[in-house]
Structure formats: C-alpha cells, structure tokens
C-alpha cells in the first residue's frame, strides 16, 4: 500500500515570496490533515478536510495561508506572502475516517524562509 506522498521535500524561499505544497493521501482515506511542525515542537494542526470539505481551519492563519482539496483526493497548501516564522516542516496526514485516528503521515516538506 502506497503511503502519503508529499512534494517538494525541501523548499527555500525569501520572505514575502509565495510557496505551495502538494499532498496525495493514502487511497481511500477520506480525512486529510495539514500540520506545521516547528523545530523542537510537536505538530500543530492547521486544517482538516473530510473529503473535499473543511472540517476545521481555526488554527490556519488565513491572511497568508490557504488550502484546498479538490475532488476529495489531492490537497495543496499555499503560503503567500511567507514570513520568517513560517520556517517549519509541513506535514500532511490522512486517516480512513475521522474517529479512526491512526493518522498516517507523509515525509513532510521542510520550508526555510530567508
């Protein structure tokens, strides 16, 4: 069974630039999560999708971050414009259904904002 795929694996940008991350969850997984993990911290949930609808985006900085999950499969997370404090690993995870909370994580995208 293929795992959660993410790209790119690494990205270096300058502040005020924009960046986008892509995630492909495990086939059949209805729930998709985007997390931000700052060095030395645990993952922090940014947004949760159930199929192609948003379940919770209360911790997403909506003035600069946006996310979508078209057709209930792939998802993209965008930052525009980026700030220095956005430097982190962005993790995508999926689970079969909500409440069955073995979340499977992708390899992550390490973002460095200079």
Partner 1 sequence: QKEVEQNSGPLSVPEGAIASLNCTYSDRGSQSFFWYRQYSGKSPELIMFIYSNGDKEDGRFTAQLNKASQYVSLLIRDSQPSDSATYLCAVEDSGAGSYQLTFGKGTKLSVIP
How many chain residues are in contact with partner 1, going by CB under 8 A? 20
Dist CA 20 CA 32 (whole Å): 17
Among 48, 67, 79, 86, binds partner 1 (CB under 8 A): 48
Phi, psi of 99 (to 5 degrees): 95, -20
**Does 25 sit near partner 1 (CB under 8 A)?**
no
Q: Which one, 6 or 82, has the nearer CB to partner 1? A: 6
Q: Which one, 27 or 42, has the nearer CB to partner 1? A: 42
Among 44, 68, 83, 114, binds partner 1 (CB under 8 A): 44
Dist CA 110 CA 7 (whole Å): 10
**Where are the strands (E) in 1-114, listed by range?**
5-7, 10-13, 19-24, 31-37, 44-50, 53-56, 65-68, 75-79, 88-95, 104-105, 109-113
Among 30, 45, 73, 96, binds partner 1 (CB under 8 A): 45
Binding residues (CB under 8 A) for partner 1: these are: 31, 40-45, 48, 55-56, 91, 98-99, 101-103, 105-108
């Amino acid at each position: 069974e293929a795992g959660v795929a993410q790209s790119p694996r690494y990205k270096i940008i300058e502040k005020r630039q924009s960046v986008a991350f892509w995630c492909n969850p495990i086939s059949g997984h209805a729930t998709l999560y985007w997390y931000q993990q700052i060095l030395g911290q645990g993952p922090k949930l940014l947004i949760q999708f159930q199929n192609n609808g948003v379940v919770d985006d209360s911790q997403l900085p909506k003035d600069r971050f946006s996310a979508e999950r078209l057709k209930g499969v792939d998802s993209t997370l965008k930052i525009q414009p980026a700030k220095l404090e956005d430097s982190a690993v962005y993790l995508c995870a999926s689970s079969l259904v909500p409440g069955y909370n073995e979340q499977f994580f992708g390899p992550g995208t390490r973002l460095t904002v200079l």
